[in-house]
Amino acid sequence: MTLAALIFDVDGTLAETEEVHRRAFNEAFAEAGLPWHWSVEDYRILLRTTGGKERIAAFQSGLPAPPLDPGGIARLHRAKTARYAAIVAAGGLALRPGVAELLERAKARGLRLAIATTTSEANVEALAQAVWGRPAAALFDAIAAGDMVARKKPAPDVWHLALDRLGLPAAACLAFEDSRNGLVSARAAGLRVVVTPSRYTEGEDFAGADWIGPDLSAFPLERFAAG
């Protein structure tokens, strides 16, 4: 089937955002008076749980006396999202190599663009404003985010939502991911998957990917567009 759209994960794929998420979590913990600090090594393990609220819940379930109920987790996560927006707005984040060029090449070929991310729409907007100075909707035809679906990655829900919003079958689209959880979720939705491992996902098992590279600068769009 002719390629009609590219669907992108955000965290780790468009930009190396996970360090900003980690910093935002730690700042939110300090602000809330919690004696928690997630190191790079802690966070590598914690990332196995997708979604910030789910990650906090998984972390505190390992503590002798988890202090937060679901409402407390939601409040803490709102504070983390506010910290994330502030850090991103302060600048310093860039798109990963090849991303901007690939989006341009895809647009020039008449391909549509979409997002399928575990993070929130607010965080997608924060990144879009920081790296493009425009709202995400100015670049992407459809946005599917974690809080819009019942189950986060590795479930396929967010990809199904992106496909619904594009009005396209999986066979006409290509997914871009950086993690094993993301690869598994996109494949479960029937998509072909391109993987560019990121700082936190290097060394994961990417068996089943249709193309793997260190970044998107050498991605052969023409080969995939030719079918």
Is residue 216 a contact partner of residue 96, using CB atoms and an 8 Å limit?
yes
Look at residues 205, 226, 181 and name the one whose alpha carbon lies nearest to residue 12: 181
Q: What are phi and psi of 187, to 5 degrees?
A: -65, -35
Residue tagged 């647009």 (tokens): 107
Q: Is 147 a catalytic residue?
A: no
Q: Which is nearer to ligand XBP, 18 or 157 (CB)?
A: 18
Residue ranges that bind Mg ion, judged by CB under 5 A: 9, 11-12, 178-179
Paired tokens of 162: 């992106």
Q: Is 210 a catalytic residue?
A: no
DSSP state of 150: S
Q: Which is nearer to ligand XBP, 3 or 56 (CB)?
A: 56
Q: Taking CB positions, which residue lies at the least distance from ligand XBP? A: 52
Provide, rounded to whole angstroms, the least separation between the CB of residue 220 and Mg ion.
22
Q: Which is nearer to Mg ion, 77 or 146 (CB)?
A: 146
Residue ranges that bind ligand XBP, judged by CB under 6 A: 9, 11-12, 18, 21, 50-52, 117-120, 123, 146, 153, 179, 181-182
* Residue 154 binding partner per list ligand XBP, Mg ion, none, with a CB distance cut-off of 5 to 8 Å that depends on partner kind: none
Q: Beta-carbon neighbour count of residue 47 at 10 Å?
A: 19
Look at residues 27, 10, 49 and name the one whose alpha carbon lies nearest to residue 130: 10
Q: Report, as residue numbers or ranges, the catalytic residues.
A: 9, 11
